[in-house]
Amino acid sequence: MVDVEEWHYPGHGRRRRWRLDDYQVEDQKLVAVHTICRLRTAADLIRLIHCPLPQPFHTGQLAESLQVHRWAAQRIAYCLRRMGAAREVGKQQNTRLYEFTAARKAG
């Protein structure tokens, strides 16, 4: 949707362990906007997730369906929860289980 130019330099950052590919971001610049997507309601947000998911689902299943890292799926689940598009319905061991609200079930 956008192109961002980022300047970074080698450095330890805030991590505890040193890594060879560790860096700190110095600055970012918005280069181009390709697409604008307005999200006004929870249903708008849910429409972005058009992959099949079991009910209830956890972030591992969300990550696999969207083909993203699990840490990204956890951020997506947080946004879904805060927007009212999904709610936490329980836990399976240490994994939180989510369920879409009526907005996805209807759409």
Q: Please give the Cα distance from 10 to 37 (Å, whole number).
A: 34
Q: Look at the alpha carbons of 7, 12, 15, 17 in this order and tell me if their dihedral is positive or negative.
A: positive
Cβ–Cβ under 8 Å, residues 40 and 46: no
Helix (H, G, I), strand (E, B) or coil at 6: strand
The model's pTM is 0.69
What does the radius of gyration of the chain's CA atoms come to, in whole angstroms? 17
Residue owning tokens 């079991």:
54
Give the domains, in start order, of the chain with CATH numbers: 2-33 (no CATH), 42-106 (1.10.10.10)
Residue owning tokens 């330890």:
12
What does the pLDDT look like over 45-64, one tens digit per residue? Answer: 888 888 888 989 999 999 99
What does the pLDDT look like over 12-41, one tens digit per residue? Answer: 656 666 666 777 778 999 999 999 988 888
